[in-house]
Chains A and B, each alone.
Chain A
């Protein structure tokens, strides 16, 4: 029983991790707390649903499409709106991204209503058993893909020139200009990357959860807690913190009941902020823009 809970928690934790990486990168690189992040997740889920229901495309194959579409959306929003709004005051990003969230979610409602849909590929009911622990195949696939995407993102940031430019801009946006880096373009790319990861997470979430305009809201607590726990802007931190968060959620649900999940999430969040604001893997002051 307890093993089953732990396995369930860890499998979901992978998804929590991938759903938070984009949020964490955007915060770490430009100091923007993107409240529209969960709306990006919702859009990813609807892309998976639309392609599945109209063209019968398997939700696993639609991931690249979600990634590309959301990259464009994130890049565009950053260039057209957020880069301009944060010129005067970085904290305006809260209000602006809340507004963007309202716009995106309500466009989704206009297009798809508030009904619940499901994405059920043929393998969705399959599961296997190891030592009495039942493991659904879909969740293993989702976990593995989330892990691969996280790894890809880590390599992109740490092993490529573009990644180095992004990290350098996060550290000092004025100095990078002298090295031929345009910070606004880097911001747009980072925002696109963040949105793309959210889109992938939404696409994966559509396979597990019912698709509705509120599917992204499941991840708002996770995004906050995982980002801060993992250390702002740290990809590897996000993945480990995501697993930890999934574990804590699963355990608290089995001990105190499912209803207390959110409360425990926010309590953990406030405690981390107070006790160890740099998170498990972050460096102090890294996210304080």
Chain B
């Protein structure tokens, strides 16, 4: 059998996943927590990359799906469902939400779509706060604790995050080769042009947002189980979506490895630099956001790709 680039890429992904899976045996609690956070943000960024990087729809309020996944899982678990039975809900509920909202919202273009998702995120946070009842309202929800020893439970959560991340990267990679990915790229460049070419742009966009929501929601669900207490201000924190956006910019929009690289760099940087200055944490994050947008609007992956490409002979 011929070994193609496809096989190599798959092999690389499997090897990387296995290596990441072995990490908990080497890391102590602090670094394991950091590694889990990196994997979580990489998933959220992967989800954002599908709708922003591929389809060109700048969803600044994608946190709404993170919160939706977290709440779906928490409500189900408090109703007596097991974790494994509730986790699919963290995928399905945001997907359904994206499908329902995508139909009206994805008709908006550019700024209008971006700002509508911001409003959606804020409205949902408010809605859950006011709803009370089974959502716990402003008081939040505590999740049933796992029977496992904390150390083992944390390891499992990390493995879950890594597994989901590997699937997300595989899905992004598949998408980049599939007709849907091509359709999305076409509509990103020129939507009416893509329509003329016979692409069903409405379905393609909605499908992309649903995939994006499913990824983001899963991360939110596992996150809720991990921290065992959620409230509207933490689950729907707009900063989650904005951080993911920055990670996508750092890594490279529309690339496959970009989200992972961006999440790794930003979180590691955060842990090393601003853990020293707790009061200044958000201030430094703001500076970093501005600096990234000014200095690296294209991202690292395209930069590296350009550097690796052999120089063209002069003509």
Interface residues of chain A: helix, strand, loop or mixed (majority): helix
Complex contact B294–A81 (CB within 8 A): yes
Q: Interface segment, B104-112, B171-179, B300-308?
A: B104-112
Q: Answer whether A267 and B123 are a contact pair too, CB < 8 Å, given A98-B289, A99-B287, A110-B283.
A: yes
Taken together as a complex, chains A and B put the C-alpha atoms of A98 and B238 apart, in Å, by 10
Contacts of B285 in A (CB 8 A): 99, 102
Is B15 in contact with chain A by the CB < 8 A criterion? no
* CB-based closest 7 A-B pairs: A99-B289, A102-B286, A266-B123, A103-B286, A106-B283, A99-B290, A88-B297
Is B115 in contact with chain A by the CB < 8 A criterion? yes
Q: Answer whether A262 and B289 are a contact pair too, CB < 8 Å, given A81-B294, A95-B249.
A: no
Complex contact A274–B119 (CB within 8 A): no
Contacts of B188 in A (CB 8 A): none
Contacts of B286 in A (CB 8 A): 99-103, 106
Number of A-B contacts (CB under 8 A): 114
Complex contact A274–B293 (CB within 8 A): no
Complex contact A221–B293 (CB within 8 A): no
Q: How far is the CB of A84 from chain B (nearest CB, A)?
A: 6
Is A6 in contact with chain B by the CB < 8 A criterion? no
Is A51 in contact with chain B by the CB < 8 A criterion? no
Contacts of A99 in B (CB 8 A): 285-290, 293
Complex contact B112–A273 (CB within 8 A): yes
Complex contact A102–B122 (CB within 8 A): no
Contacts of B237 in A (CB 8 A): none
Known: A85-B297, A91-B114, A95-B245. 12 other contacts (CB 8 A): A92-B293, A94-B245, A95-B246, A95-B293, A98-B242, A98-B289, A102-B285, A105-B282, A106-B286, A110-B279, A260-B130, A266-B123
Taken together as a complex, chains A and B put the C-alpha atoms of A114 and B129 apart, in Å, by 22
Is A31 in contact with chain B by the CB < 8 A criterion? yes
Q: Which residue of A lies closest to B125 (CB)?
A: A262
Contact residues of A between 32 and 84, Cβ < 8 Å to B: 33, 81, 84
Query: Could you say which of B126, B249, B282 contacts A106, with CB atoms under 8 Å apart?
Result: B282
Q: Residue-by-residue, is A93-133 near B (CB-CB < 8 Å gives 1, otherwise 0)?
A: 01110111111011100100000000000000000000000
Taken together as a complex, chains A and B put the C-alpha atoms of A274 and B105 apart, in Å, by 7
Complex contact A263–B130 (CB within 8 A): yes
Contacts of B104 in A (CB 8 A): 270, 274
10 A–B contact pairs at CB < 8 A? A85-B290, A85-B297, A92-B297, A94-B60, A94-B245, A101-B286, A102-B283, A110-B283, A262-B122, A266-B123
Taken together as a complex, chains A and B put the C-alpha atoms of A96 and B107 apart, in Å, by 25
Q: Residue-by-residue, is B86-124 near A (CB-CB < 8 Å gives 1, otherwise 0)?
A: 000000000000000000110111111011101110110
Taken together as a complex, chains A and B put the C-alpha atoms of A105 and B104 apart, in Å, by 34
Query: Could you say which of B112, B116, B280, B294 contacts A84, with CB atoms under 8 Å apart?
Result: B294
